């Protein structure tokens, strides 16, 4: 690995996901090209055979059907070798009765460094990162968690549904949609971008505007 590849970078939302070939428990994969026309959740974990990570992988695998239903694939990652991933997946199936039904990347630093997953003080333990990548290969959402806190699969699924609905209907999604305290499952109309539209907005949405910049509507 040359010095440039070894650089620990932090990508930005809206960036194209870097093209990388990886070794996984399901064979070699080309990211993001093997997932064209699909949404992809790439999530890293500090290490195999660790308690919090085990609970996360159990939950991701248990809810794989829900991800399938929203056209989304899962792929895990840590800097363990592939035989460790395979053995850990076997342990989860044997002891927790849950097959790990998605690939796990055996990273040697190439992916972790490209995506800013390594903290200088954690050695080879990757942080708990989540990257949501859209069917065009664009990074749409990034979440980072400390080692001691497990992720919420509910929140990842909610975020995927919100992104997909926003893309399809060109609207914005309120806090905790579809269970927002103010708007419930309604969605937000993007604010007007010119004076004329702003003047018309409250009349156009008479019963669903607090002001021209804060209007909402029912889901389509």
Residue 200 belongs to domain with CATH number: 3.30.1020.10
What confidence score (pLDDT) does residue 8 get? 58
Whether residue 136 is contained in a domain is answered as: yes
Average the pLDDT over 98-104 and give the result. Answer: 98
Please check whether residue 143 is in contact with residue 129, taking contact to mean a CB–CB distance below 8 angstroms: yes
Whether residue 12 is contained in a domain is answered as: no
- What pTM, to 2 d.p., does this model score? 0.92
CA Rg, the chain, in Å?
20
Whether residue 194 is contained in a domain is answered as: yes
Whether residue 123 is contained in a domain is answered as: yes
Q: Which residue has the higher pLDDT, 76 or 123?
A: 76
Whether residue 156 is contained in a domain is answered as: no
The total number of structural domains that make up the chain: 2
Q: Do 146 and 174 belong together in one domain? A: no
Tokens of 61: 């695998």
3-state secondary structure of 39: strand
Share of the chain residues as helix, strand and coil, in percent rounded to the nearest 5: 30, 25, 45
Answer yes or no: 53 catalytic.
Answer: yes
Q: What is the pLDDT of residues 5-15, one digit of tens each?
A: 455 567 899 99
Residue 3 banded pLDDT, cuts 50, 70, 90: very low
Q: What is the pLDDT of residues 181-206, one digit of tens each?
A: 999 999 999 999 999 999 999 889 88
What confidence score (pLDDT) does residue 147 get? 86
Whether residue 3 is contained in a domain is answered as: no
* Residue 6, Cβ density class (10 Å: 0-12 exposed, 13-18 middle, ≥19 buried): exposed
Whether residue 162 is contained in a domain is answered as: no
Residue 145 belongs to domain with CATH number: 3.40.30.10
- Given 31, 41, 53, 130, which residue is catalytic? 53
What confidence score (pLDDT) does residue 43 get? 97
Whether residue 15 is contained in a domain is answered as: no
Tokens of 78: 């840590």
Q: Which residues contact 24 (CB under 8 A, 6 or more apart)?
A: 75, 82, 85, 103, 104, 105, 106
Please check whether residue 34 is in contact with residue 26, taking contact to mean a CB–CB distance below 8 angstroms: no
> Distance (Å, rounded) from C-alpha 12 to C-alpha 219?
29
Q: Do 199 and 141 belong together in one domain? A: no
Please check whether residue 74 is in contact with residue 102, taking contact to mean a CB–CB distance below 8 angstroms: yes
Q: What is the pLDDT of residues 159-187, one digit of tens each?
A: 999 999 999 999 999 999 999 999 999 99
Average the pLDDT over 51-65 and give the result. Answer: 98
Quote the mean pLDDT of the chain. 92
> Distance (Å, rounded) from C-alpha 85 to C-alpha 41?
18
Domain encompassing residue 87: 20-150
Q: Do 124 and 197 belong together in one domain? A: no
Q: Do 180 and 113 belong together in one domain? A: no
Q: Do 33 and 105 belong together in one domain? A: yes
Residue 195 backbone phi and psi in degrees, to 5: -60, -40
> Distance (Å, rounded) from C-alpha 47 to C-alpha 76?
11
Beta bridge partners of 156: none
Q: Do 37 and 142 belong together in one domain? A: yes
Beta bridge partners of 134: none
- Among 150, 180, 199, give the residue marking a domain's end: 150
Q: Do 64 and 145 belong together in one domain? A: yes
């Amino acid at each position: 690995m040359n010095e440039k590849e070894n650089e620990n970078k932090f990508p930005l939302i809206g960036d194209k996901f870097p093209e990388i070939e990886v070794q996984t428990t399901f064979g070699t994969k080309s990211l993001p090209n093997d997932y064209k026309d699909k949404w992809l959740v790439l999530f890293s974990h500090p290490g195999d055979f660790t308690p919090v990570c085990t609970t996360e992988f159990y939950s991701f695998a248990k809810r794989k059907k829900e991800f399938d239903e929203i056209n989304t694939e899962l792929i895990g990652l840590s800097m363990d070798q592939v035989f460790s991933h395979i053995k850990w997946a076997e342990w989860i199936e044997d002891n927790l009765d849950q097959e790990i039904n998605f690939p796990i990347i055996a990273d040697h630093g190439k992916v972790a460094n490209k995506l800013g997953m390594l903290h200088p003080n954690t050695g080879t333990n990757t942080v708990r990162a989540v990257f949501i990548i859209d069917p065009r290969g664009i990074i749409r959402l990034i979440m980072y968690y400390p080692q001691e806190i497990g992720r919420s699969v509910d929140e990842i699924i909610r975020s995927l549904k919100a992104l997909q609905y926003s893309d399809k209907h060109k609207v914005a999604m309120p806090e905790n949609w579809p269970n927002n305290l103010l708007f419930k499952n309604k969605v937000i109309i993007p604010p007007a971008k010119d004076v004329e539209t702003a003047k018309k907005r409250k009349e156009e949405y008479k019963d669903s505007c607090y002001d021209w910049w804060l209007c909402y509507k029912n889901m389509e």
